[in-house]
Structure 1
Amino acid sequence: MSLDYRPLCPALGAEVRGLDLAAGVSDALFNEIRELWNRSNGVLVIRDQQISEEQQIAFSRKFGELHTLQGHTVTKYLHPEHPEIYRVSNKVMNGKPQGRKGAGTYWHSDQSYEKTPAMASVLYALEIPPYGGDTIYTSMYKAYDALTDTMKAFLEGLEAEHDFAVAQSGGFRNESVTTEQLQKAPPMTHPVVRTHSETGRKCLFVNPGFTSHIVGVSKDESAAILNFLFQHCTKPEFHYRHVWQPNDLVIWDNRCTMHYAVMDYDGLGDRLMHRCTAIGEVPLKPHAAQAA
């Protein structure tokens, strides 16, 4: 079949229409979905889905191996029956949180602190408040492309350290992070500019949520470089802001995007979302010939 879709904004994002994932996804159809995902710079919105946990897991697994109990640093928000699903929610039932409240309220790329950071995140909206709770995505392709050639050449020679401990003063400041959890996620070094393994395009790969410093330069130099990059990457012209609708399924590519969950809906209603995450590859450095 030929997918019916429309672009969502100039920077990134496409919306697929008339697709029913519950009816099954053949290899041929999935290849079309993945190709459109890549063409849309890493954000794909599939509306009006009625899928079970098992169906979400099966679809997500087509992108690759999924994070489960062993792959998560914070495990208490995993689905009790399906460890492939991480629950994001402000909902409380019988005094027990149904997921992590306020998850992702900072610019980040999922699990960039791991040796093989997340590739595809597949988030399904079961319940949403009447308004608010948008998610903002930014294109790290566009951010890289907008740099001068001089800056590109400079950055392509750099590496940055990504550390879950950075989140203790940021996105996880209200969470109790144990020494054991930190030991499970030692710092990892990745290229500041990576080559996307499927599209071959270059993009920036740093984020305020988990990137601690640039390797091989002074603390002040590192701060100057990262502060510039964080401000540059989050310019509005690189954004797509997703206004959630019930039963939306949104797939984003952590290799070439960052995202920010807007926490402005507290007291307005329940928000319950299920996320599956496909593990990616070790980030690729820019090809030597291109870097030269």
Structure 2
Amino acid sequence: MSLNARRLTPTMGIEVRDLDLARPLGESLFAEIKSLWNQADGVLVVREQQLTEVQHIAFARHFGSLHSLAGHTVTKYLHPEHPEIYRVSNKSRDGKPMGRKGAGTYWHSDQSYEQTPAQASILYALEIPPRGGDTIFCNMYKAYAALSEPMQRFLSGLTATHDFAVAQSGGFRNEEVTAEQLALAPPMSHPVVRRHDDTGRPCLFVNPGFTSHIDALAPEESRALLDFLYRHLAKPDFHYRHVWQPNDLVIWDNRCTMHYAVMDYDGQGERLMHRCTAIGEAPVAAAA
């Protein structure tokens, strides 16, 4: 079939309508969806879905094995009957949170601190506030391409360490993180410029949420370089801001994007979202 798709912005993003993901997908249809995802530079928005938890999980599995957060500090936010689903919500039931409130309120790429970081994150909006709660995405392909050629060559020879402990003073500062949980996520080193496994294109792979330092550089040099890259990545030229609609399913590619969840909806209304995450491959350095 030919999908009803349109580009959302020149920067990134494709929207798809008239597609029912509750129905089983054949290989050819999923291949078309994944092709659009890659053309979208990492953000595909599928509108007007009506998915049960089982259907959400079944669709997400097309992207690969699903991530398990057992033992993680966010384990308490997993769906009680479907642990493949991580719940993001400001709602409570019987005095207990139904999901993590204010999740993702920092620039990051999901699970970049792991040996095989997340590939696809598939977030489904069951309830959204009447205003606020947007998600901002950064196109890491474009950010890399906008650097000078000498800087590209310099970065292509570097690796950086990603460490969940960085989030203790950032995005997870309001969560209790135990020594046992940190031990389950030891620091990992990845290329600063990775080659995307599907497209073969080079993209930056550092983020303020989890990257601790550039390997082989002195601490002052590492900090100066990361500060420069983060200022560069903060440019709106590389961003797409998603304004959520009810029943949106947004699929983003953590290999070539990072994202920031805007927490401006407190007191505006209730939010409930379900996320499945497909595991990716170990990052490989792009050719210099």
Is the structural similarity TM-score above 0.5? Answer: yes
Residue pair 1:13, 1:43 contacting (<8 A) in 2 also: yes
Q: How far apart, in 1, do the equivalents of 2:146 and 2:20 lie?
A: 37
SS at 2:104's partner residue? coil
Q: Provide structure 1 residue ranges, at least 5 long, that are not aligned to the other structure.
A: none
Contact 1:68 1:85 in 2 (8 A): no
- Cα distance per residue 1:213-237 (max 9 Å; x no partner): 0001111100000011111112101
Aligned AA (2:263): M
C-alpha distance in structure 1 between counterparts of 2:151 and 2:9, whole Å: 26
5 Å-filtered alignment, 1:186-205, equals: 186-205=186-205
Counterparts of 1:1-292 in structure 2, within 5 Å, are 1-70=1-70, 72=72, 74-287=74-287, 291=288
1:29 match: secondary structure: helix
Tell me how far 1:27 sits from its aligned partner: 1.1
4+ residue stretches of structure 1 with deviation over 2 A? 68-74
Cα distance in 2 for residues equivalent to 1:36 and 1:71: 35
Identity of aligned residues (%): 72
| Residue type of the alignment partner of 2:142 | K
Q: Contact 2:87–2:272 at 8 Å: present in 1 too?
A: yes
- Say if 2:89 and 2:98, in contact at 8 Å, map to a contact too: yes
| Cα offset, 1:74, TM superposition | 2.6
Conserved 8 A contact 1:60-1:66: yes
Q: Deviations over 1:92-126 (max 9, x none)?
A: 11111000000000000000000000000000000
Report the Cα offset of residue 268 of structure 1. 1.0
Superposition TM-score, scaled by structure 1 size = 0.97
> Is the CA contact 1:77–1:88 (under 8 Å) kept in the aligned structure 2?
yes
Partners of 1:73 and 1:184 within 8 A in 2: no
Partners of 1:139 and 1:28 in 2: how far apart? 27
Is the partner of 2:75 in helix, strand or coil? coil
How many residues in Structure 1 have an aligned counterpart in Structure 2? 288
Contact 2:72 2:181 survives alignment (8 Å): no
TM-score w.r.t. length of structure 2: 0.98
Deviations 1:143-179 (A, max 9, x none): 0000010000000011000000000000000101111
**What letter matches 1:56 in structure 2?**
H
Query: What is the SS of the residue equivalent to 2:281?
Result: coil
> Alpha carbon RMSD of aligned pairs, Å?
0.9
